[in-house]
Amino acid sequence: MTATLLSPLTALADDLAGPWQPPLSFRLANQRIATLTRRYVTVAHLCDRLADLPHQFQDPQPRRWNPVNWAAISPDQISGIGLDTFCAILLGTINTEAPIRGYSQASRQYLEHFYPQMAQFVGGTVDAAGVIKPGLWEREEKRHTPILTMLYHRLSGERPHPVPHRARPYTPSGAARADLYRHGLHRIATEYGAACLYLWMMAYTTGPLQAALGELLIDEINHMTKFWGFGRWAYPDTGLGMIAGTLAHAMVKKWQQPQLQGSLIHTLRRMTAELAWGQWSHNHRLTFLYTFDQVMRVLWQWDRSLTQPYLKELFGPHPNHV
């Protein structure tokens, strides 16, 4: 029997998740996920990001990214995941992030009748000629695909060949408030999933590669928080029962119409395919689920602070037509 030689635990100055010891063990991966959660997902940070939303309604300004040494990104900054699998995950995120214009315009249309300020924040404005001036959410999210493409190229040495997901267009059912609720729940879920994915990938990386993923993570947490908090104000009666009913309705519609896009069930199935789930080891799946758990624990704790008086202080009284 040959002994497996492990490099000593190192605390790299530029590592955002704590000690780094290739090859990364299951235990250390979970420790790094917990460290990253404490660093990026705190109740205080979520409160700050939600309180920022009214300011962005008045003066929308894209977040400035922290400096990243892009030229120094290399495959040796990954441990615990095979390079082929890591690049397959990157390609899946490129396919998912690419149709941002379609996502933003569908959201704008669901929002604009009830909440024009939020509609503009997400999807911008459209003039009489149909020319779109992008909203802040689209402008910030639009940065992701070029960054992911560059990461793929730096790590694989090849240009990716993406097959972008087709965003589901605005599809009104005649019940506008219910349509917006379903769409908003879907948008929050996708932002939450993206945040968890980037945090999980950061646990298996170090150096400039990890720092680049960190910038994507910061964006996703910011957007998830704004959508979640605004949704709690817009739908003050929401709760687990309402969420469960919406999910049950989506499952029934998916069963009746198997090709239906836009449901959370459809999104979950598509994302497992996009992210090369079949290439993930048992430990990868467990650490990914642990990431979802760690982030959700903080979100539920933060959610308890979102009282209606506090939300009305941020966003004002509800519009009369709602």
Q: If you compute the radius of gyration of the chain from its CA atoms, what whole number of angstroms results? A: 20
Report, as an integer, the average pLDDT of 23-42: 97
Hey, what are 62's tokens? 């894209």
The pLDDT of residue 226 is 98
pLDDT above 90: residue 301: yes
Mean pLDDT, residues 293-310:
94
Share of residues in the chain with pLDDT > 70 (%): 86
What is the structure's pLDDT at 5?
37
Task: Check whether 162 has a pLDDT greater than 70.
Answer: yes
CB 108 within 8 A of CB 124: yes
Task: Quickly list DSSP for 146-198.
Answer: HHHHHHHHHHHSS--------PPPP---S-HHHHHHHHHHHHHHHHHHHHHHH
DSSP states along 61-126: -PPPPPP--GGG--GGGB-SS-HHHHHHHHHHHHHHHTTHHHHHHHHHHHHTTT-HHHHHHHH-EE
Nearest to 314 by CA among 56, 95, 27, 100: 56
Tokens of 50: 């939600």
Contact indicator for 146, 173 with CB cutoff of 8 Å: no
Residues 247-255, mean pLDDT to the nearest whole number:
49
What is the structure's pLDDT at 241? 54
Per-residue pLDDT reduced to its tens digit, 73-132 = 999 999 999 999 999 999 999 999 999 999 999 999 999 999 999 999 999 999 988 889
Distance, in Å, from the CA atom of 300 to the CA atom of 312, rounded to the nearest integer, reads 20
Q: What is the distance between the alpha carbons of residues 186 and 74, in angstroms, rounded to a whole number?
A: 35
pLDDT, tens digit (0-9, with 9 covering 90-100), for 43-78: 999 999 999 999 999 999 999 999 999 999 999 999
Which pLDDT score, from 0 to 100, does residue 322 have? 62
pTM, two decimal places: 0.91
Integer Cα distance of 169 and 319 in angstroms = 26
Q: What is the pLDDT of residue 268?
A: 72
pLDDT above 50: residue 191: yes
Residue 211 in this model has a pLDDT that exceeds 70 = yes
Question: Of 9-23, 220-234, 261-275, which one has max mean pLDDT?
Answer: 220-234
Residue 129's pLDDT is 87
132 forms bridges with which residues in the sheet? Answer: 126
Residue 314 structure tokens? 């941020």
What does the mean pLDDT of the chain come to? 89
Looking at residue 255, its pLDDT comes to 44
Say if residue 22's pLDDT is above 90.
yes
Percent pLDDT > 90 in the chain is: 78
Residue 24: band (very low, low, confident or very high) from pLDDT cuts 50, 70, 90: very high
> Does pLDDT of 249 surpass 60?
no
